[in-house]
């Protein structure tokens, strides 16, 4: 681990701490640092830590923190609020990473990033579908182990893909699915423009139960909010026919607690999961031993293009806060020029 700092001589400027970062985000972040010239100085640790004590220690003296894939507990947030005025998260669904109500009470602004990885997440959803239908990874391991047996696959062409949430990512998934020759259906919250169903060649379905019942593949693309928490229930999951493929690259918490694990335990549907109720996924999780699953460690959002968009938005939100703006603010916090 090394330490990267900017404008070290400008002690009159507020400090931005980046206590934890992935290797592939270091250079995109450095490219965005000029946005803070004359506004704030930066201290970035160039490794990734899940250790909460170490994370908080690395934030010492900072008024702003960029948070990359680290869950901020209530205890951490309360401690950080002694000097941190803004937390910029490298993700969209920040409600699963920090207590927004507590942040508002403590006067800490929470910022997210938006539409930074629509293509990255959509492509990864298809990577999971293709691993389930064509087993490329498993076939690679099989061949390396000396076998030439191969395995039968399934076509996506001609099958029905049901999308839960037709926003930026869901719309990109629909576009890709059309290229595969799939029949695409979707249910959406109704807050967006209804014309996007026509734009993306998607057939609307009025209820989630009907959507799940008519699908060959279900792909979830809803953000986590108070309204969407637990919105997919056991009833919806039970409506899936045996053999239906279930994909979740959104948030695990949009599914009612325990409902998906119970459905998958029946063993009659395969699934590709990139998100989990507890992350990292516990070593004793029953999901790890289910043979009908493809599991990945919440990486759908990580690509070169998404990294550039994400890191720049994080830096822009910090710059905006210190200059009186509200770019990507989820909670208002206290204005920088008024103090606490």
Please choose, from the candidates 197, 229, 232, the residue with its C-alpha nearest in 3D space to the C-alpha of residue 218: 232
Q: Write down the catalytic residue from 251, 253, 263, 302.
A: 251
85: annotated active-site residue:
no
Q: Per the residue annotation, which of 79, 210, 261, 279 is the catalytic one?
A: 279
Q: Could you tell me if 49 and 19 are in contact, meaning their C-beta atoms sit under 8 angstroms apart?
A: yes
Question: Which residues on adjacent β-strands are paired with residue 294?
Answer: 272
Maximum distance among all Cα pairs of the chain, rounded to whole angstroms: 69
Is 298 catalytic? The answer is yes
Candidate list 109, 298, 302, 316, residue with the active-site label: 298
Catalytic residue flag (residue 5): no
CA distance 266 to 231: 21
Instruction: Yes or no: say if 175 and 125 are a contact pair by the CB < 8 Å rule.
Output: no
3-state secondary structure of 108: coil
Cβ proximity of 200 and 167 under 8 Å:
no
DSSP H helical ranges for 214-280: 234-238, 259-264
- Long-range CB contacts for residues 164-167, cutoff 8 Å, separation at least 24: 164/208, 164/211, 164/218, 164/219, 164/220, 164/221, 164/222, 164/232, 164/250, 165/189, 165/220, 165/221, 165/222, 165/223, 165/250, 166/192, 166/196, 166/197, 166/200, 166/202, 166/221, 167/192, 167/221, 167/223
Q: For residues 291 and 264, give the distance between their C-alpha atoms in angstroms, rounded to a whole number.
A: 10
Residues with active-site annotation: 251, 279, 298
């Amino acid at each position: 681990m090394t330490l990267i700092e900017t404008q070290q001589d400008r002690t009159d400027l507020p400090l931005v701490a980046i206590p934890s970062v992935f290797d592939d985000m270091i250079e995109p972040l450095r490219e965005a640092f000029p946005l803070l010239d004359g506004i704030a100085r930066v201290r970035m640790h160039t490794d990734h830590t899940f250790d909460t004590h170490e994370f908080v220690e690395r934030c010492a003296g900072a008024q702003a923190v960029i948070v990359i894939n680290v869950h901020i507990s209530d205890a951490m947030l309360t401690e950080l609020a002694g000097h941190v005025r803004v937390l910029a998260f490298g993700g969209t669904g920040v409600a699963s990473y920090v207590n927004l109500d507590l942040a508002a009470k403590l006067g800490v602004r929470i910022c997210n990033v938006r539409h930074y990885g629509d293509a990255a997440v959509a492509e990864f959803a298809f990577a999971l579908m293709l691993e389930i239908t064509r087993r490329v990874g498993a076939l690679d391991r099989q061949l390396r182990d000396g076998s030439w047996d191969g395995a039968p696959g399934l076509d996506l062409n001609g099958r029905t893909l049901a999308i839960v949430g037709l926003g930026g990512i869901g719309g990109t998934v629909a576009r890709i699915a059309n290229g595969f020759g799939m029949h695409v259906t979707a249910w959406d919250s109704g807050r967006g423009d209804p014309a996007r169903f026509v734009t993306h060649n998607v057939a609307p379905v009025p209820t989630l139960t009907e959507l799940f019942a008519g699908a060959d593949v279900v792909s979830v693309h809803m953000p986590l909010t108070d309204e969407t928490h637990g919105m997919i229930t056991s009833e919806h999951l039970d409506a899936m026919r045996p053999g239906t493929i279930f994909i979740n690259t959104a948030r695990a918490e949009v599914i009612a607690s325990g409902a998906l694990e119970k459905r998958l335990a029946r063993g009659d549907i395969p699934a590709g999961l990139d998100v989990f109720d507890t992350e990292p996924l516990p070593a004793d999780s029953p999901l790890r031993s289910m043979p009908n699953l493809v599991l990945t460690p919440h990486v759908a959002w990580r690509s070169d293009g998404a990294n550039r968009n994400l890191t720049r938005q994080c830096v822009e939100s910090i710059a905006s806060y210190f200059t009186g703006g509200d770019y990507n603010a989820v909670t208002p916090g206290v204005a920088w020029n008024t103090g606490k």
